[in-house]
Chains A and B, each alone.
Chain A
Amino acid sequence: MRHLIDIMDLSIEELDEMIAVAKDIIADPEKYAHKCAGKKLATLFFEPSTRTRLSFEAAMYELGGNVLGFSEAQSSSAAKGESVADTIRTVGCYADIIAMRHPKEGAPIAGTRRSTVPVINAGDGGHNHPTQTLTDLLTISREKNRLDNLTIGLCGDLKFGRTVHSLINAMSRYPNNKFILISPDELRIPEYLKYETMIKKNLEFVETDDLENAMPELDILYMTRVQRERFFNEQDYLRLKDSYILTPDKLDNAKEDLSILHPLPRVNEISVAVDDDPRARYFEQVLNGKYIRMALILMLLEEAKRNPVPDWQKQ
């Protein structure tokens, strides 16, 4: 049985396969409309989320399956003090696959310790969000028809932005990608990512605070929101939240085939006026999120069918 906790749990071959399945779903949705008939997905959201939860639920419905779950910890047994491991094991008695979001980092690993069904990490605090990265990879693959030889600008909160960390990790596995890391000093990527991944893997990267200067080079511009919930100190949040706001004039010297991505929700870091620019691809990205989640659910259910006994029961 497989789970998806971290994007690095998937090999390049598995990623390629999943992206290929997602593209096939887009081309012929009818072929997949009953693939999960009789199956149930549990969405366990210990932390509120709109798009990720709805994306998972829409994905399961489009595969012909059903959905159950909760959308905040207060309406779950976690409010009574139940452990994550017990909640997951219990829900495994009702559902065939689980997507969970939790504010604590590493919670999905605790959840898999006694799980009898595949668990998908739908975000654990500021740590990982692998299905967003799958979404990003499918979007880049559809936009550029490749995942290598790209110059990727990541802009905004690179310190707490889990989607940024996962995307760097994922794109670092494809050759000749260059990263331009655009952020205020206080929100630069964490030291461990810089030293233990980027420098260790000999990746080409530049750290800068100048978005406009970096713009002409970029194939992909990945904007992020400065997230209020990641700050212990409100003053720091207020000081940094408006660091980068993308407006149409800043795109004047951008490439014609630039793709602007954003994991959403946005606050004000991309002006609404940019939405009409054909290079703005963030709403297509949302749609891609549903398709790649469909491909992921199919892969994990298929794997669970082949290998139904979880590792902890084998020991």
Chain B
Amino acid sequence: MIIGKIEDGIVLDHIQAGQGMRLYDILNLDKLDCEVALIQNAPSGKMGRKDILKIDKLIDLDIDAVGFVDPGITVNIIENGERVKRGKPELPERIVDIVKCKNPRCITTIEQELPQVFNLTDRKNKIYRCAYCESKAK
């Protein structure tokens, strides 16, 4: 399977197999007007299988969202066909408006314009909890 090189854009590599679509949704990539490629189950020496996202535009990437999905993801910034920057996101202490609280009893289900805030409560197990009701982020 061949997906062409990008000139100016972002490649998110080493996404855990199966998480690519979730990251695609969380980053709202369906709203972009540029080409976006999601490659699932690509062979990987290190991971066995991995997902890759290629975005053919230098968008303002929500790095906290990437770190929340998986801090093991490699972010590559491509300019003029060359990789100019490469790095891994931090596991953010707090995420805002990235995921919604799924607890039907949470105030976020009814209060208007209330930001969806989650705090990292367990770094080892990457557990985030709603700042309002303390339910686990899913």
Contacts and interface: CB of A to CB of B under 8 A. Distances in A.
A complexed with B: yes
B52 to A, nearest CB: 34
A126 B105 contact: yes
Nearest to B131: A109
Interface residues of A, number: 18
B107 A109 contact: yes
Interface residues of B, number: 22
Contacts of B109: 104
Contacts, number: 57
A164 to B, nearest CB: 15
A249 interface: no
A85 B111 contact: yes
Interface string A75-86: 000000001110
A106 B121 contact: no
A14 B136 CA distance: 30
A177 to B, nearest CB: 22
A234 to B, nearest CB: 17
B33 interface: no
A105 B107 contact: yes
A127 B134 contact: yes
Chain A: interface secondary structure? mixed
A84 B106 CA distance: 13
A105 B105 contact: yes
Contacts of B129: 192
A105 B132 contact: yes
A110 B132 contact: yes
A104 B110 CA distance: 9
Contacts of A192: 129, 134, 136
A220 interface: no
A110 B108 CA distance: 9
Contacts of B121: 196
A83 B133 contact: no
A103 B136 CA distance: 19
B111 A105 contact: no
Contact of A106 (B108, B113, B122, B127): B108
A175 B103 CA distance: 34
A237 to B, nearest CB: 16
Interface in A108-127: 109-110, 113, 124-127
A225 interface: no
Interface string A11-48: 00000000000000000000000000000000000000
A293 interface: no
Given A84-B107, A125-B105, A106 B131 contact: yes
B112 interface: yes
Interface string B117-138: 0000110000101111111100
B114 interface: yes
Interface string A122-137: 0011110000000000
Contact of A127 (B122, B127, B131, B133): B133
Contacts of A159: none
Nearest to B104: A232
B107 A106 contact: yes
A106 B132 contact: yes
A104 B131 contact: no
A104 B136 contact: no
Given A105-B106, A106-B106, A84 B111 contact: yes
Interface of B: 103, 105-114, 121-122, 127, 129-136
25 contacts: A83-B113, A83-B114, A84-B111, A85-B111, A85-B114, A103-B105, A104-B105, A104-B106, A105-B106, A105-B132, A105-B135, A106-B107, A106-B108, A106-B132, A106-B134, A109-B107, A109-B132, A110-B111, A110-B114, A125-B105, A125-B133, A127-B134, A192-B129, A192-B136, A196-B121
